[in-house]
Amino acid sequence: MIKQDLPSLLRANPYPGRGIVLGSSPGASAAVIAYWIMGRSENSRNRVFEATEDGIRTRAFDESRMTDPSLIIYRPVRLVGRRVVVTNGDQTDTIRDFLLAGKTFAQALRTRTFEPDAPNCTPRISGLLEQDGTYTLSILKAGCSGMCDRQFFEYACCADTGHFISTYQGDGDPLPSFAGEPVPVSIGCDRAEELAGALWESLNEANKVSLFVQYIDLETGFPETVIINKLGGRTVSAPRTSIWKEK
């Protein structure tokens, strides 16, 4: 497996859209999560990430400028027992509900399809991180004759290795959907702050909106979390308490 340099990939792409990275730190001591959003319209750019009890949510930075909350206001990251769900839309809640009911990640996503925003038909990308550092990524995208293609990819916990998936291949009209398998990448950073800084600097300045990075110590469950908002600044937290809840 040839791992690519994630910041270099992002610098070469003006519009990957929303992106998910799951993986492990260089020493394999921490699970790694990264999620970001980008926007071309004023409505999409008028957003920030806000911490919640079980993850993060998107919200309007200036409520008076919000014109359409559909598809852009949701909970991208939610802790479900001893798993973390990461997605680019309200399928986060679908997955959470299915997991709490004893069903699976795949079963949840078989009830969903790509976003109703033709002609882009934006894919729904989703990830599930397990307590042991293994993870699954999925993409739901427009296929033949407008049908939904559902793809799932499962990965082991491997030092200094992650996988990256985004909604788009780049800018365009309509926007070209992500193609192929999630890209293997080197994490390259021992701390969440270091990775967050590298990713934020690599995202296109005009289009980047918000970034979330979290490292979870695989032994203790202690998290280190960084949130960067173009309109709201940066927050860092590293509580000495376990993130894992009882199932």
Amino acid residing at 1 = M
Residue 213: pLDDT over 70: yes
pLDDT at residue 146 in the model: 86
Structural tokens at position 139? 């993409």
DSSP 51: E
Q: Please, what is the average pLDDT of the chain? A: 96
* Residues forming a β-bridge with 58: 49
Residue whose tokens read 């409520």: 63
pLDDT at residue 247 in the model: 55
From CA 55, how far away is CA 76, in angstroms rounded?
Answer: 8
Q: How many CA atoms lie within 13 A of 70 on its CB side?
A: 3
- Provide the phi-psi class of 101: left if phi over 0, else alpha when psi is between -120 and 50, else beta: alpha
Confidence of residue 1 (pLDDT cuts 50, 70, 90): confident
Instruction: Quick: pLDDT tens for 38-75.
Output: 999 999 999 999 999 999 999 999 999 999 898 899 99
pLDDT at residue 135 in the model: 98
Confidence of residue 246 (pLDDT cuts 50, 70, 90): low
Q: What is the pTM of this model?
A: 0.97
CB burial string 104-115: b at 16+ within 10 A, e below: ebeebbeebbbb
Query: In the chain, what percentage of residues exceed pLDDT 90?
Result: 94
3-class secondary structure, 171: coil
Q: Cα angle vertex 224, ends 100, 189, to 5°?
A: 115
pLDDT at residue 144 in the model: 86
